[in-house]
Structure 1
């Protein structure tokens, strides 16, 4: 498997990945999805040895005060093999000097364990935290 850094991805590759995880709000408007990926500050992708897009993470950032992890997704048949963590770690390394790191996610156990393992905390656990 190979990490790549390219925002200009084929729409069919993007649609295949996003559809595989059921993110249909993105796939209903393919042109918006492609523009969103291309407009991201940072995009890292994971590719299988046979050239299939199997994972992607993308971030929006001002490169100083805030980094927002917009999407991180891995095709279901490739989940559980460290690909999501590899994509996440790559993004965190790229934005290691940014003060605030933010993401929104479902409260499902698997993604929560991934993010908490990387040092993220639930804001609900810190209701009086200073932003």
Structure 2
């Protein structure tokens, strides 16, 4: 396996990876998915020796103060092989100069959330509450207001 930075994305390859984890919000519009990847600060991939895409992680960052890990996507056929850990550790080194290194994941009340929380804790992450912080977000489904005037 090798990890590399990428900035050109094959739509079919990206669709296959994101579909493998059931992220329908991304797979509904592959062009939008690829635009989002291109607009990221950094996208790293893990590929096997033949070049097959195994996993991807991407960040949104000002590369000075904050790095937000937006996606960590590992094809389930390759779970429990250290690939996700290698991607996160790569990003932790790359952004070690940033004051904040953050991510969001599923709530720990779900089975996937419990696994994710254990995984991120094994890498040294703390919950926002443990860091005496809070996180907020708008609802996922809301109107697109970009073309309206205030």
TM beyond 0.5 = yes
> Where does residue 93 of structure 1 map in the other structure?
93
Match of 1:120 among 110, 121, 125: 125
Bigger share in helix? 1
> Where does residue 104 of structure 1 map in the other structure?
104
Contact 1:66/1:101 (8 A) holds in 2: yes
Runs of 4+ residues over 3 Å off in structure 1 = none
C-alpha distance in 2 between matches for 1:36 and 1:20: 18
C-alpha distance in 2 between matches for 1:118 and 1:7: 26
Cα-Cα RMSD: 1.7
Contact 1:70/1:103 (8 A) holds in 2: yes
Q: How does 1:61-80 map to 2 (within 5 A)?
A: 61-80=61-80
Q: How many residues align?
A: 130
1:16 equivalent to 2:16? Answer: yes
SS in 2 for 1:25: helix
Q: Deviations over 1:23-49 (max 9, x none)?
A: 010010111100111111111101122
SS in 1 for 2:129: helix
C-alpha distance in 1 between matches for 2:114 and 2:77: 18
Structure 1: tracts of 5 or more residues without a match: none
- Which gives a bigger RCO, structure 1 or 2 (Cα 8 Å, sep 6+)? 1
